[in-house]
Amino acid sequence: MRLRTRLAVEATAAVNQLSRHIGTGSGTVAGGRVGLAIAPGALADLGRGRTVAVVSGTNGKTTTTRLLAAALETSGASVVTNATGSNMPAGHFSALASGPREAPAVLETDEGYLPATLRELSPRLALLLNLSRDQLDRSNEVRMVAKRWRDALAGSTCTVVANADDPLVVFGARSAPSVLWVAAGVHWRADAGGCPACGGRIRFAQGTWSCSCGFARPVPDVALEERGEETTAMFADGRRFTIHLAIPGGFNRRNAVMAAAAAEVLGVPADRALEAMGKVEGVAGRFSVHSVRGVPTRLLLAKNPAGWDELLELVAGDTGPIVIAINARVADGRDPSWLWDVPFERLGSRPIVASGERSADLSVRLHYAGLEHRRVKDPLEAVLAASRSAQPGVSVEFIGNYTAFHDLLAKSPLA
């Protein structure tokens, strides 16, 4: 390691420790920024000589990163990862600087930063989950993200594990020299109607999709079978695994299958990988029950229509109170128009509290969904208000978008 890089690593550790100590952050971004300022080439330097896997896509990155890291840990090596979702260069630097020099790294990567990350870190593997509309005030078009993936992967040497059911992911991934296709499903198709290859119209039918220009779903190497709550992964060589996870939701089981396929590429057999993933509980505060001013509250994060689509599937049928908190800061995207793409109608009849800095937007949306609700702008107060309509022993469900979730999480210890 170059002297400058070593200096940068030490400075990163010191700043991150300070940041955690004074409580200004989760202690990953500030230090990484300092490190990169001291040694701009250090990211590539830290990536050399170890296995690096990157995980990218619009939704499920943080959880899938955690699942893949858990799988790789079964090899006995300590794995470095950006577990709190700091998924840009500073977060990558902090993660790589945080453990032994040779430790394998699993890095959640912002979809916009994937091309730069491929260039700098030359990862061994890229796990590509899904692409859909998110923060359009920043990225403008999801198709442009797919095109940048395609261009970056065409020149890379990494093995790609990609979702064969998402046309935008396939368009971005198929230029890579080696791709393992997983039929991981996609519920949200509203962004894939126009063919990314020719501009024509993609037709979805009987579990597959194609365009008249010849762009079509690749033959999957790993297929999925879903029956109610049971998800089974079927590998091309005939092996079948039923997925059992501690974290809830069909979307997490589908992500686990992708992570298992990725783990095999990195030398961990799928059965061992899935067993380790089954033990993962909360992921960066998500899915677990926290105490919000004494009220047991299950915290969930959804920040765009596709993510909401999946969470609504998860909470459908619950009848306890639910708080929905929406902000529109830069990290959330400043345009909450996407609330009108979310089928809130599926929440059905249950006590609902609209909250967050953009609760007025949410309240109008819920009103047109025909849902009775209250509006309490402050999320803490909203949880307290919701708890008053909870039956004894029933926890409150809280779904926030990015900053609304993180603000509440920071104030709420595990219950």
Partner 1 sequence: MTVLRIAVVYPDLLGTYGDGGNGLVLFRRAERRGIAVELIQATSDAALPAVDLYTLGGGEDGPQVLATERLGEAGTLAEAVANGAVVLAVCAGYQIVGARFPAADGAPVDGLGLLDAITEKSQGRRPVGEIVVESELEGVGMLTGFENHGGLTTLGPSASPLGRVCIGIGNGDGTDGACSGRVVGTYLHGPVLARNPALADLLLSWATGRALAPLDDHRELDLHRERLEASLGRRGRRRG
Binding site for partner 1 (CB under 8 A): 133, 136-137, 140-143, 190-191, 193-196, 199-201, 203, 334-335, 337-341, 360-361, 363-365, 367-368, 370, 375
Cβ closest to partner 1, residue 10 vs residue 137: 137
Cβ closest to partner 1, residue 147 vs residue 244: 147
Residue 290 φ/ψ, nearest 5 degrees: -115, 165
* CB atoms near residue 271 (< 10 Å): 11
Residue 360: CB minimum distance to partner 1, A = 4
**Alpha-carbon span 207 to 193, nearest angstrom:** 15
**Alpha-carbon span 8 to 94, nearest angstrom:** 10
Categorise residue 228: left if φ over 0, alpha if ψ from -120 to 50, beta otherwise.
Answer: left
Give the amino acid at 343: P
Residue 338: CB minimum distance to partner 1, A = 5
Residue 373: CB minimum distance to partner 1, A = 10
Give me 85's structure tokens.
Answer: 């979702």
Residue 202: CB minimum distance to partner 1, A = 9
Cβ closest to partner 1, residue 194 vs residue 269: 194
Q: Which residues contact 256 (CB under 8 A, 6 or more apart)?
A: 64, 67, 243, 245, 274, 277
Cβ closest to partner 1, residue 141 vs residue 225: 141
Residue 357: CB minimum distance to partner 1, A = 10
- Which among 187, 203, 207 is positioned nearest to 195, based on CA atoms? 203
- Contact predicate 301/399, CB 8 Å: yes
Alpha helical stretches, state H, 23-73: 29-38, 42-47, 61-73
Cβ closest to partner 1, residue 244 vs residue 377: 377
Cβ closest to partner 1, residue 2 vs residue 201: 201
- Contact predicate 398/298, CB 8 Å: yes
**Alpha-carbon span 95 to 113, nearest angstrom:** 16
Residue 171: CB minimum distance to partner 1, A = 11
Cβ closest to partner 1, residue 10 vs residue 141: 141
Residue 330: CB minimum distance to partner 1, A = 12
Cβ closest to partner 1, residue 177 vs residue 200: 200
Residue 381: CB minimum distance to partner 1, A = 17
Cβ closest to partner 1, residue 93 vs residue 209: 209
**Alpha-carbon span 276 to 241, nearest angstrom:** 13
First to last CA, the chain: 43
Q: Which residues contact 170 (CB under 8 A, 6 or more apart)?
A: 162, 163, 164, 181, 215, 217, 218
Residue 345: CB minimum distance to partner 1, A = 10
Cβ closest to partner 1, residue 307 vs residue 320: 307
Give me 47's structure tokens.
Answer: 């990536």
- Which among 67, 25, 32, 37 is positioned nearest to 251, based on CA atoms? 67
- Which among 250, 224, 247 is positioned nearest to 235, based on CA atoms? 224
Give the amino acid at 19: S
* Residues belonging to the chain: 415
Residue 191: CB minimum distance to partner 1, A = 8
Q: What is the DSSP letter of 255?
A: H
